[in-house]
Amino acid sequence: MTSPLLVELSRLQFALTAMYHFLFVPLTLGLSIMLAMMETVYVMTGRTIWRDMVKFWGVLFGINFALGVATGITMEFQFGMNWAYYSHYVGDVFGAPLAIEGLMAFFLEATFVGLFFFGWEKLSARAHLVVTWLVALGTNFSALWILIANGWMQNPIGSAFNPDTMRMEVTDFMAVIFNPVAQAKFVHTVSAGYVCGAVFVLGVSAYYMLRGRHIELAKRSFVIASAFGIASSLSVIVLGDESGYAITDNQKMKLAAMEAMWETEPAPASFTAFGIPSMSDRTTHFAVHIPWVMGLIGTRSIDKEIPGIFELVQKAEGRIRDGLTAYDALEKLKVNHGDAAARASFDATSKDLGYALLLKRYIDDPRQATDDQIKQAAWSTVPEVPAIFFTFRIMVLCAFLLLAVFAISLWHTMRETPAPRWLFRIALIAMPLPWLAAELGWFVSEFGRQPWIIEGMLPTFLATSELGIPDLLITILGFTLVYGVLAVIEVKLMLQAIAKGPAVGANITPPIGEGTKIHLAAAQ
Amino acid sequence: MIDFLFNYETLRIIWWVLLGVLLMGFAVTDGFDMGVGALLPFVAKTDIERRVAINTVGPVWEGNQVWFILGGGAIFAAWPALYALSFSGFYLAMFLVLFALILRPVGFKYRSKRESPRWRSNWDWALFIGGAVPALIFGVAVGNALRGVPFHFSTDLRPFYEGTLFGLLNPVALYCGLVSLTMLVMHGAAWLAFKAEGPVADRARVIGGKVALATAVLFAGGGVLVWLGLLGGYEVTSAIVWDGPSNPLGKTVIANSSAWLRNFRATPALCLVPALGIVAPLVAAAGFRARREGITFLASKLGVLCIIATVGLAMFPIILPSSSNPGHSLAVFDASSSRATLRNMLIATVIFLPLILAYTAWVYSVLWGKVSETSVRGAGSSAY
**Contact (CB<8Å) A523/B380:** yes
Q: Taking CA atoms, what residue in B is nearest to A79?
A: B84
Q: With contacts defined as CB-CB under 8 Å, which chain A residues touch B91?
A: 81, 465, 467, 471, 475
Query: What pLDDT does residue A79 have?
Result: 94
Task: Please check whether residue B327 is in contact with residue A79, taking contact to mean a CB–CB distance below 8 angstroms.
Answer: no
Q: With contacts defined as CB-CB under 8 Å, which chain A residues touch B21?
A: none
Percent of chain A scoring above 90 in pLDDT = 72
Q: Are strands B318-320 and B330-331 parallel, antiparallel or unpaired?
A: antiparallel
Task: Please check whether residue B11 is in contact with residue B342, taking contact to mean a CB–CB distance below 8 angstroms.
Answer: yes
Give the tens place of pLDDT for each residue, A115-143.
999 888 889 999 999 999 999 999 999 99
* B188 interfacial to chain A (CB closer than 8 Å): no
Q: Are strands A458-459 and B151-153 parallel, antiparallel or unpaired?
A: unpaired
Instruction: Report the gap between the CA of A401 and the closest CA in chain B (Å).
Output: 34
Q: Hey, which residues 85-144 in chain B have their CB within 8 Å of chain A?
A: 85-88, 91-92, 94-95, 98-99, 101-106, 108-110, 112-115
DSSP, residue by residue, A493-521: HHHHHHHH---TT-SS--SSSS-----TG
Nearest to B68 by CA among A62, A76, A139, A482: A76
DSSP bridge pairs for B161: B151
Give the Cα separation of A453 and A449 in Å (integer). Answer: 7
Helix (H) or strand (E) holding A324: helix A309-335
**Contact (CB<8Å) B378/A522:** yes
Q: With contacts defined as CB-CB under 8 Å, which chain A residues touch B375?
A: 522-523
Q: With contacts defined as CB-CB under 8 Å, which chain A residues touch B379?
A: 118, 121, 511, 522-523
Give the Cα separation of A117 and A70 in Å (integer). Answer: 18
Give the Cα separation of A414 and A407 in Å (integer). Answer: 11
| pLDDT higher than 90, residue A83 | yes
Question: Of the candidates A106, A475, A518, which has its C-beta nearest B95's C-beta?
Answer: A475
DSSP bridge pairs for B253: B236
Lowest pLDDT segment from A80-84, A293-297, A369-373: A293-297
Question: Of the candidates A87, A169, A510, which has its C-beta nearest B76's C-beta?
Answer: A87
| pLDDT higher than 80, residue A504 | no
Give the tens place of pLDDT for each residue, B262-285.
999 999 999 999 999 999 999 999
Give the tens place of pLDDT for each residue, B147-162.
999 999 999 999 999 9
Residue A74 confidence class, pLDDT cut points 50, 70, 90: very high
Q: With contacts defined as CB-CB under 8 Å, which chain A residues touch B115?
A: 512-513
**Contact (CB<8Å) B344/A170:** yes
DSSP bridge pairs for B371: B196
Cβ neighbour number for residue A45 with a 10 Å cutoff: 10
Query: What pLDDT does residue B15 have?
Result: 96
Give the Cα separation of A314 and A282 in Å (integer). Answer: 14
Q: With contacts defined as CB-CB under 8 Å, which chain B residues touch A77?
A: 72, 87, 94, 98
**Sequence-ordered list of residues with C-beta below 8 angstroms from that of A292, at least 6 positions apart, any chain:** A268, A269, A270, A271, A302
Nearest to A107 by CA among B353, B191, B76, B79: B353
**Contact (CB<8Å) B66/A102:** yes
Task: Please check whether residue A512 is in contact with residue B132, taking contact to mean a CB–CB distance below 8 angstroms.
Answer: no
Give chain B's domain count. 1
Task: Please check whether residue A285 is in contact with residue A193, taking contact to mean a CB–CB distance below 8 angstroms.
Answer: no
Residue ranges of alpha helices (H) inside chain B are: 2-5, 8-43, 47-57, 61-78, 80-89, 91-111, 117-147, 165-168, 171-195, 199-227, 262-266, 272-290, 293-315, 339-366, 373-378
Instruction: Report the gap between the CA of B98 and the closest CA in chain A (Å).
Output: 6
Q: B47 or A249: which carries more pLDDT confidence?
A: B47
Give the tens place of pLDDT for each residue, A4-21.
999 999 999 999 999 999
Question: Of the candidates A77, A82, A103, which has its C-beta nearest B70's C-beta?
Answer: A103
* B250 interfacial to chain A (CB closer than 8 Å): no
Give the tens place of pLDDT for each residue, A304-317.
778 889 999 999 99
Give the Cα separation of B209 and A359 in Å (integer). Answer: 63
Task: Please check whether residue A262 is in contact with residue A308, taking contact to mean a CB–CB distance below 8 angstroms.
Answer: yes
**Contact (CB<8Å) A465/B159:** yes
Nearest to A152 by CA among A92, A235, A70: A92
Q: What is the mean pLDDT of residues B322-348?
A: 94
**How much is the ipTM here?**
0.92
Percent of chain A scoring above 70 in pLDDT = 92
Question: Of the candidates A63, A91, A115, which has its C-beta nearest B83's C-beta?
Answer: A91
Task: Please check whether residue B331 is in contact with residue B238, taking contact to mean a CB–CB distance below 8 angstroms.
Answer: no
Task: Please check whether residue B138 is in contact with residue B166, taking contact to mean a CB–CB distance below 8 angstroms.
Answer: no
Residue A245 confidence class, pLDDT cut points 50, 70, 90: low
Nearest to A201 by CA among A227, A171, A240: A227
Give the tens place of pLDDT for each residue, A362-379.
999 999 999 999 999 999
Give the tens place of pLDDT for each residue, A492-503.
999 999 999 887
User: Best interface-test mutation with B: which of A9, A16, A73 has the largest number of B CBs within 10 A?
Assistant: A73
| pLDDT higher than 60, residue A522 | no
DSSP, residue by residue, A82-101: H-HHHHHHHHHHHHHHHHHI
Cβ neighbour number for residue B2 with a 10 Å cutoff: 7
Residue A268: cis peptide before it, omega within 30 degrees of 0: yes
Give the Cα separation of A142 and A149 in Å (integer). Answer: 11
Give the tens place of pLDDT for each residue, B108-142.
989 988 989 999 999 999 999 999 999 999 999 99
Residue A261 confidence class, pLDDT cut points 50, 70, 90: confident
Q: How many helices (H) and strands (E) does chain A have?
A: 18, 6
| pLDDT higher than 70, residue A508 | no
User: Best interface-test mutation with B: which of A64, A69, A176, A477 has the largest number of B CBs within 10 A?
Assistant: A69
Burial of residue B308 (CB within 10 Å: 0-12, 13-18, 19+) is buried
| pLDDT higher than 60, residue B198 | yes
**Sequence-ordered list of residues with C-beta below 8 angstroms from that of B355, at least 6 positions apart, any chain:** none
User: Best interface-test mutation with B: which of A115, A152, A336 has the largest number of B CBs within 10 A?
Assistant: A115
**Contact (CB<8Å) A465/B359:** no
Q: With contacts defined as CB-CB under 8 Å, which chain B residues touch A87?
A: 76, 80, 83-84, 87
| Beta strand segments in A257-397, E | 271-278, 283-290
| pLDDT higher than 80, residue A269 | no
Query: What pLDDT does residue B383 have?
Result: 78
| pLDDT higher than 90, residue A401 | yes
Helix (H) or strand (E) holding A426: helix A421-429
Crossing angle for the helix pair A309-335 and A249-258, to the nearest 10 degrees = 150
Query: What pLDDT does residue A514 have?
Result: 35
Burial of residue B371 (CB within 10 Å: 0-12, 13-18, 19+) is buried
Question: Of the candidates B63, B84, B86, which has its C-beta nearest A110's C-beta?
Answer: B63
Q: Are strands A283-290 and A159-162 parallel, antiparallel or unpaired?
A: unpaired
Q: With contacts defined as CB-CB under 8 Å, which chain B residues touch A117?
A: 59, 381-382
| pLDDT higher than 70, residue A511 | no
Task: Please check whether residue A480 is in contact with residue A16, taking contact to mean a CB–CB distance below 8 angstroms.
Answer: yes
Give the Cα separation of A295 and A277 in Å (integer). Answer: 19
Question: Of the candidates B102, B341, B363, which has its C-beta nearest A482's C-beta?
Answer: B102
Nearest to A22 by CA among A330, A383, A399, A434: A434
Question: Of the candidates B76, B88, B338, which has its C-beta nearest A169's C-beta?
Answer: B338
Give the Cα separation of A249 and B345 in Å (integer). Answer: 30
Give the burial string for A209-220 (b: 16+ CB within 10 Å, else e): beeeebeebbbb
**Contact (CB<8Å) A471/B363:** no
Average pLDDT, chain A: 89
DSSP bridge pairs for B235: B254
Question: Of the candidates B78, B109, B247, which has its C-beta nearest A62's C-beta?
Answer: B109
Residue A522 DSSP class: G
**Contact (CB<8Å) A107/B383:** no
Report the length, in residues, of chain A.
524
Average pLDDT, chain B: 93
Give the Cα separation of B277 and A194 in Å (integer). Answer: 50
* B265 interfacial to chain A (CB closer than 8 Å): no
| pLDDT higher than 50, residue A521 | no
Task: Please check whether residue A60 is in contact with residue A498, taking contact to mean a CB–CB distance below 8 angstroms.
Answer: yes
Question: Of the candidates A63, A99, A121, which has its C-beta nearest B382's C-beta?
Answer: A121
Q: What is the mean pLDDT of residues A225-232?
A: 94
Residue range(s) defining the domain that contains residue B23: 2-382
User: Best interface-test mutation with A: which of B87, B249, B357, B372 has the largest number of A CBs within 10 A?
Assistant: B87
Q: Hey, which residues 278-297 in chain B have their CB within 8 Å of chain A?
A: none
Give the tens place of pLDDT for each residue, B352-375.
999 999 999 999 999 888 888 888
N- to C-terminal Cα distance for chain B? 50
Give the burial string for A235-256 (b: 16+ CB within 10 Å, else e): bbbeebbbbbbbbbbbbbbbbb
Q: With contacts defined as CB-CB under 8 Å, which chain A residues touch B94?
A: 77, 80-81
Question: Of the candidates A85, A113, A173, which has its C-beta nearest B158's C-beta?
Answer: A85
Burial of residue B353 (CB within 10 Å: 0-12, 13-18, 19+) is middle
Give the Cα separation of B47 and B99 in Å (integer). Answer: 25
**Sequence-ordered list of residues with C-beta below 8 angstroms from that of A272, at least 6 positions apart, any chain:** A259, A260, A261, A284, A287, A288, A289, A290, A294, A389
User: Best interface-test mutation with B: which of A21, A88, A475 has the largest number of B CBs within 10 A?
Assistant: A88
Give the Cα separation of B7 and B2 in Å (integer). Answer: 8
